[in-house]
């Protein structure tokens, strides 16, 4: 699998001022990690967003979101966001912000 380089650059620009972000090739795409935990990534042209189990259903109710089913079974707490769901900077920032908020709420490793 590959990932959308333009979407990756847009995510990088959103995260430019944040310290502690690491990029890593995972799942055949690109993942962004904070404190050693993946919070979002890109597979093909979809944004992968880790929203956590409590916000999962709400995230799925948003336009252009669907369950992340990388293995054929949904990863509870992760969603795919189609390109139309990340068209604008504010749309992308909302998804990425939700992912960072969730990972920031987890205990440090």
pLDDT in tens, 21-40: 999 998 889 999 999 999 99
Predicted pLDDT of residue 109: 73
The ranges assigned to domains in the chain are: 5-105
Predicted pLDDT of residue 82: 98
Predicted pLDDT of residue 1: 60
| CA–CA distance, 38 with 31 (Å, rounded to integer) | 6
- Report pLDDT digits (tens) over 63-96: 999 999 877 888 889 999 999 999 999 999 999 9
Higher-confidence residue of 73 and 101: namely 101
Q: Which fold has domain 5-105?
A: 3.90.1150
């Amino acid at each position: 699998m590959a990932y959308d380089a333009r979407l990756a650059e847009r995510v990088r620009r959103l995260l430019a001022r944040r310290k502690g972000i690491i990029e890593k090739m995972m799942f055949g795409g690109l993942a962004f990690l904070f404190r050693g935990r993946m919070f979002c990534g890109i597979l093909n042209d979809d944004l992968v967003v880790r929203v956590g189990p409590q916000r999962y259903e709400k995230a799925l109710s948003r336009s252009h979101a669907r369950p992340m089913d990388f293995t054929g079974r949904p990863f509870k707490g992760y969603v795919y966001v189609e390109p139309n769901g990340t068209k604008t900077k504010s749309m992308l920032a909302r998804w990425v912000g939700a992912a960072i908020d969730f990972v920031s709420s987890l205990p440090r490793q």
